[in-house]
Amino acid sequence: MSALAPPGPPPGGGAMAFTFAAFCYMLTLVLCASLIFFVIWHIIAFDELRTDFKNPIDQGNPARARERLKNIERICCLLRKLVVPEYSIHGLFCLMFLCAAEWVTLGLNIPLLFYHLWRYFHRPADGSEVMYDAVSIMNADILNYCQKESWCKLAFYLLSFFYYLYSMVYTLVSF
């Protein structure tokens, strides 16, 4: 009978197992790449705002001032559109890792989830906008804070991407 057995690993051993945790890591890799693009867009937008803020040319020109204000409002509107998807995707990560019982990965993501919740619920109370008001964003301190926040998120998402990649491979191979 053993002469008829096909060559290769024995049945049930040596094959990769596709588990829910592996699926979570695969989906998280794709979504993490989108979060990296969101954050890169934030960094570019804040840099554009900073450059426009520092440009002394035509500051006395009213037509140029209206054009600059429209540009700032356009950028802030686009930034606001990315906030809820970013927070929702990261919340989905945490929910998936909770359901998959990936406690270490969940523990690594919880601090940013709490920060996102804090940031969302401590938005300006006077408006319906989440954040990135066209007037307040041009305050140099707020602009610096937003830019540093984006760089920190980029570092977190990049490190997380490679951690998710390693964890996905480890999960697929270990079972």
Tell me the C-alpha distance between 48 and 89, whole Å.
26
Of 172, 126, 134, 161, nearest in space to 39 by CA: 161
Report yes or no on 4 lying in a domain.
no
What is the residue range of 38's domain? Answer: 32-174
Among the residue ranges 89-103, 136-150, 157-171, the one predicted with the least confidence is: 136-150
* The pLDDT of residue 124: 64
What is the band of 115 on the pLDDT scale with cuts at 50, 70, 90?
very high
Average pLDDT of the chain is: 84
| Residue 132 predicted with pLDDT over 70 | yes
pLDDT tens for each residue of 49-67: 888 766 555 556 677 778 8
Report yes or no on 91 lying in a domain.
yes
Q: Which amino acid is at 135?
A: V
Q: Are 117 and 150 in contact (CB under 8 A)?
A: no
Report yes or no on 112 lying in a domain.
yes
Q: Which helix (H) or strand (E) holds 50?
A: helix 20-54
What is the band of 20 on the pLDDT scale with cuts at 50, 70, 90?
very high
Of 27, 14, 46, 1, nearest in space to 154 by CA: 46
Report yes or no on 122 lying in a domain.
yes
Report yes or no on 21 lying in a domain.
no
Report yes or no on 114 lying in a domain.
yes
| Residue 91 predicted with pLDDT over 80 | yes
Report yes or no on 26 lying in a domain.
no
Report yes or no on 161 lying in a domain.
yes
Q: How many domains does the chain have?
A: 1
